[in-house]
Amino acid sequence: MHKTIPEANAFVDRLADLLRQSPPPARMVEIVLAPPFTALSSVAAAIRAHPFALSAQDLHWEEHGAFTGEVSASMLKDAGCRYVIVGHSERRQWFGETNAAVQKKSAAALRHGLRPILCIGETSDQRASGQAEQVLSVQLAEGLATVAKERAGEVVIAYEPVWAIGSGHPATPDQAREAHRHIRTRIRALWGQDAAEPVPILYGGSVTSDNIAELLATPEIDGALVGSACLDPLQFARILTIARAV
């Protein structure tokens, strides 16, 4: 819940300027911005001249109806979105979002040609009690239960250990590697080897310019879901510049 419409537009312009000043990328990196609902249409217009894609932060699974305050997949598509985040840890923690709700949201996104970015992750208590892999397995299985393997290539998974988010203490590369390997194994079990391999698995949780290179050097990590570090275009540009050079 950051940035008014003018602030979001200024962010896009500043980020684009900073990236133009950075060294030519050694590899292509897809950059997806997820502003609040109020700024979606404005940012969609602002990014037409820039190599950015647009994502919403959430959606409702129904097409329309008496759901005051909610936004549907068709509305997001109309606003210019290509992606939508589902099951973010804050939605689960503060708004009681369940795996069943995440499942319906993922299905709604795919029905309208949006790529769901499915967030999964364990709490510190769950990790301490040895339940991390079980939690990830259940969140994956239930969140993707209605997604056919033919649609696997349209799904993005984001591993965001709840204990790392905003803590300043990200998962170590070894911890992230272990979790990402488990997630890949579970996706293979769900959809089969061929369908599972192209699915990107991102890491999220205290990602900064100080740790992005080490994280992305881990073969199992395909990208990052950046939180507070992306609010400042200078910090975000540094992260992206490093990511494009790794």
Closest CA to 225 of 22, 36, 57, 39: 57
Average pLDDT over residues 130-141: 97
Q: Which two tokens stand for residue 105?
A: 């949201």
Give the separation between CA 158 and CA 221, rounded to whole angstroms.
10
- Rounded to whole angstroms, the Cα distance separating 191 from 128 reads 30
Evaluate whether 120 touches 87 at the Cβ level (below 8 Å): yes
> Around Cβ 207, how many Cβ atoms within 10 Å?
25
Active site residues: 88, 160
Q: Is the pLDDT of residue 169 over 90?
A: no
- Domains of the chain by start residue, with CATH: 5-245 (3.20.20.70)
Mean pLDDT computed over 96-120: 98
Q: What is the pTM of this model?
A: 0.96
Residue written as token pair 């993922």 = 106
> pLDDT at residue 70 above 90?
yes
Q: pLDDT tens digit string along 6-60? A: 999 999 999 999 999 999 999 899 999 999 999 999 999 999 999 999 999 999 9
